[in-house]
Structure 1
Amino acid sequence: MLQHDRRRIGIIEDDPIVGQSLADRFELEGYSTCWWSTAKDALDRLAADAFDLVLCDIQLPDMNGEQVLQRLNEAPGRAPVIFVTAYAEIEQAVRLVKAGAEDYLAKPFDVTELLGKVSSILERSDRPTGELGRSRPMQQVEALLRRILDIDSTLLLTGESGVGKEVAARFVHQASKRAGQPFVAVNCAAIPSELIESELFGHERGAFTNAHAQHRGYAERAGDGILFLDEIGELPLAVQPKLLRLVQDRVFTRVGGERTHPFSARVICATNADLEQRVRERRFREDLFFRINVIPVAIPPLRDRPADIEDLLRFYVDRFATMFARDAIGVADGAIEAARDHRWPGNVRELRNRAERAVALATSTVITEADLFPDQRRLHDVPAGDDRPVASLAGRRQALEQRHIEEALERTGWQIARTAELLGISRTTLWEKMRKYRLDTKPRR
């Protein structure tokens, strides 16, 4: 019997003979399986627990394959899906693959072929996770990005300023087949409007005053790599049709030139603006928005992923201690607790800046709360009569409870029964608290 570290496979099949046979065969091959005869039972379980792969019949008593996939796609980072179909349903199976399914098999299928597909898919997805963070929201983002690493579709990263959109874009570059090619980052808000067309697409000699030589723009310099357009919402309206042509037709023309040049890089855009609102205000072209919004990925703010704060803080303290040639510098427990309680309006960028200042001005080998937040007086330093708001005891208790539940869920791999046992509460109580704190969507393992 082969061993697969008990990877978990979910089987959705209403035929009891086929379903049981598949479950038995996967168990013999060393996998752990769950078999459901209805889509509803399967979706309820898949929403509550982590599986590595789902095998699903297209025609089920209560749903069809497209309805099942639509439900599964609502959870970022969901497990890859293989559909099983009759020959008459091949066209539908092809649509499912285009909609995000991993593969399909036509009945009657060879079990050896199925096992080969399963092994290949799991091998591709069996990459280390947690590079973007250990928190559940960032693991979901990472799992989603890993699924679309090696396709050419345009990626739109959204989120508040400072959340790490460029970090996510560079992750896609480094983890993809384009890793050996250029990563060209362009801040659309930082280039004067009269120069941005020339900077993006290049210009020919004599195209305008002071154009004494041919200039290769960012699109050309990206080669077969990635062109990262940050602050895309700030791109001037006059240049947007030319970017649309670049993305849609994969060609561009230098300013002052007549010959078109092929464009082969992947485009990743990022913005902290509401592009749909800008479309309504006619500040952003609707057709361009649809072209860059093929795969939208929202990067959550730091306040919504407290499990990442300690790791990020220690990372930046170590980095700046090395950069400033300081002895090894630690971080006090009080500083970590204060960092977890902080709302981080500036997100990761604010954390980085606070860590840099703390290390630069540190007078000891340990960063304290006062080093990290010199602008925030501690409670015993506040004079009598100060009317600034103080967090309520109930609010502080809820924040601690949420963090404790999330840490327990991560420790058990988001297995509800084990987590409830670990916390000493019933599964019903755990579900209620998870819904209260919006922790009711599982990450992909």
Structure 2
Amino acid sequence: MKPILVVDDDPQMRDALREAIQRLGYEATVAENGQDGLIKMAGTPFAMIITDMKMPRMDGLQFLKEVRRRVGNLPVLVITGYGTVENAVETMKEGATDYLMKPFSFDKLNAKISSIMESTAADREIITGNPKMVRLLQITRDVAAGDTTVLIYGESGTGKELIARYIHGQSLRKLKPFVAVNCAAIPEHLMESELFGHEKGSFTGATDKKPGKFELANDGTILLDEIGEMPMGLQAKLLRVLQEREIDRIGGKHTIPINTRVLATTNRDLRKEAAAGTFREDLYYRLSVFPLHVPPLRERPEDISLLSEYFVKKFSALLNKEVKGLTEDALSFLLRNEWRGNIRELENALHRAVLLSRGQLIDISDFMLDEPTPAQKTSLHADDNSKRGIKEMERDLIMKTLRDVNGNKTKAAKILGVNVRTIRNKLSEYGKNFPDE
């Protein structure tokens, strides 16, 4: 696994960033300034870079420009001081992957690093042997060359965002920002500010000027993830942005021209919703200039074994284990499963299996953290003693993980690839208790 390069002139910040990166399971290399960072880059390929803005000899912006000239689309997370909004906008225009404003919590830093590492892995890895997906990728490469607005639709967990990032990575905008906005995760009263920005004093709590996501994505690509969740009132404003190619900050006196390619994803049937009046029909047709359908995993049986091999290698390296693959019974179980949660469900299952596995091959019993699925029930024929052993492994794993995260059930659930309710149910079953976070 490639290390992460940290560039910062503050020794305490360098050490803190290195420790945070190592806690996430990645290696870290540190540099004192931009010139030192370029020297380190000459001998080592890196997975991503984290750089401060203000540094002697070569500041973060100069360093970013040189990284873009030498390496192309290597992801760069820029750390910038509070209130320097213009610097943040400029770094995004120069191709920064994302920025983090000081002061920040390490939870926010961890979230940024994890998101970037996952998304850039997705950029490199579209794993498929399925004829439908192969054809989809051929079409995707063709549509990437232009600036057409694309609507990517399909079930949750099928890889829609991955396809969107692939389009950006194959386009002429690939060295410019890719900004993803999860429309389902932003509260309705904050969404307009998040998309279009606001001026200082434009509403209660607007203590500083803030650029919106469209502005940050200028000259690059913006992904409106789960666009079907956008409120109707904001849909009209989005339609105007798409038609006029300009935005209005909240409280702003002038419009701001933008040059941003728009991609959107949805797990809903927006055609039916438009006909029913629950989604703007004019916006639907404006977004679906080029619609792409991503088929569910159950229609791609060829991909299950390929993806399983990839995830086993990924989590084995991340968790520092020596798992080499799956037994025939385990692979047969995976092929028979319906995977209603698609690739995301398969990934979580294999994450748990690698954690539980005590040998070099994953067996069916290693998939038993959640309640057994119908496919598991027909596949598992272990005797009572074996089941007790599995339950003990499961309990030990859950308790160890909770201790490692100081009892935070949300963090433990994320590490184990299950929901928080599963953790609480298991603790109740064991007669154990950790205080709610």
TM-score of the aligned structures, taking structure 1 as reference length: 0.55
Pairs within 5 Å for 1:390-429: none
Amino acid at match of 2:213: Y
Partners of 2:154 and 2:141 in 1: CA distance: 19
Q: 1:283 to 1:241 in 2, by over 3 A?
A: same
**Residue 225 of structure 1: how far off its partner (Å):** 1.3
Q: CA RMSD in A?
A: 1.9
SS in 2 for 1:322: helix
Pairs within 5 Å for 1:29-428: 131-372=126-367, 375=372, 376-379=376-379, 381=381
Check the 8 A contact 1:130/1:139 in 2, yes or no: no
Partners of 1:380 and 1:222 in 2: CA distance: 50
Partners of 2:378 and 2:365 in 1: CA distance: 8
Check the 8 A contact 1:130/1:142 in 2, yes or no: no
**Residue 373 of structure 1: how far off its partner (Å):** 5.4
SS in 2 for 1:206: coil
Unaligned runs of 5+ in 2: 1-123, 384-437
Bigger-Rg structure (1/2): 1
**Residue 382 of structure 1: how far off its partner (Å):** 9.5
Higher relative CO (CA 8 A, sep ≥ 6), structure 1 or 2?
1
**Residue 263 of structure 1: how far off its partner (Å):** 1.5
SS in 2 for 1:207: coil
Q: 1:232 to 1:177 in 2, by over 3 A?
A: same
Partners of 2:281 and 2:161 in 1: CA distance: 24
Q: 1:324 to 1:379 in 2, by over 3 A?
A: closer
Counterpart in 1 of 2:393?
none
Check the 8 A contact 1:132/1:168 in 2, yes or no: no
Check the 8 A contact 1:182/1:226 in 2, yes or no: yes
SS in 2 for 1:344: coil
Q: Aligned residues, how many?
A: 255
Partners of 1:191 and 1:212 in 2: CA distance: 20
Runs of 4+ in 1 over 4 A off after TM superposition: none
**Residue 372 of structure 1: how far off its partner (Å):** 3.1
**Residue 336 of structure 1: how far off its partner (Å):** 1.7
Partners of 1:142 and 1:231 in 2: CA distance: 21
Q: 1:137 to 1:130 in 2, by over 3 A?
A: farther
**Residue 268 of structure 1: how far off its partner (Å):** 0.5
Partners of 1:173 and 1:295 in 2: CA distance: 15
Q: 1:325 to 1:293 in 2, by over 3 A?
A: same
Amino acid at match of 1:288: L
Check the 8 A contact 2:151/2:264 in 1, yes or no: yes
**Residue 183 of structure 1: how far off its partner (Å):** 1.0
Check the 8 A contact 1:155/1:293 in 2, yes or no: yes
**Residue 214 of structure 1: how far off its partner (Å):** 0.5
**Residue 363 of structure 1: how far off its partner (Å):** 1.6
Residue-by-residue CA offset, 1:122-163 (whole Å, 9 max, x unaligned):
xxxxxxx99451210100110110111121111000000100
**Residue 316 of structure 1: how far off its partner (Å):** 0.9
Unaligned runs of 5+ in 1: 1-128, 384-445
Partners of 2:298 and 2:345 in 1: CA distance: 12
Q: Percent identity?
A: 42
SS in 2 for 1:194: helix
Task: Name the structure with the higher helix share.
Answer: 2
Residue-by-residue CA offset, 1:402-441 (whole Å, 9 max, x unaligned):
xxxxxxxxxxxxxxxxxxxxxxxxxxxxxxxxxxxxxxxx
**Residue 177 of structure 1: how far off its partner (Å):** 1.7
Partners of 1:196 and 1:131 in 2: CA distance: 31
Residue-by-residue CA offset, 1:256-304 (whole Å, 9 max, x unaligned):
1121111211100000011122213322111111100100000000010
SS in 1 for 2:210: coil
Residue-by-residue CA offset, 1:154-182 (whole Å, 9 max, x unaligned):
10000001000001011111122211111
Partners of 2:275 and 2:130 in 1: CA distance: 35
Partners of 2:287 and 2:230 in 1: CA distance: 13
Amino acid at match of 2:255: T
Check the 8 A contact 1:184/1:226 in 2, yes or no: yes
Q: 1:132 to 1:179 in 2, by over 3 A?
A: farther
Partners of 2:125 and 2:346 in 1: CA distance: 19
Amino acid at match of 1:206: G
Check the 8 A contact 1:331/1:368 in 2, yes or no: yes
Partners of 1:380 and 1:350 in 2: CA distance: 20
Counterpart in 1 of 2:18?
none
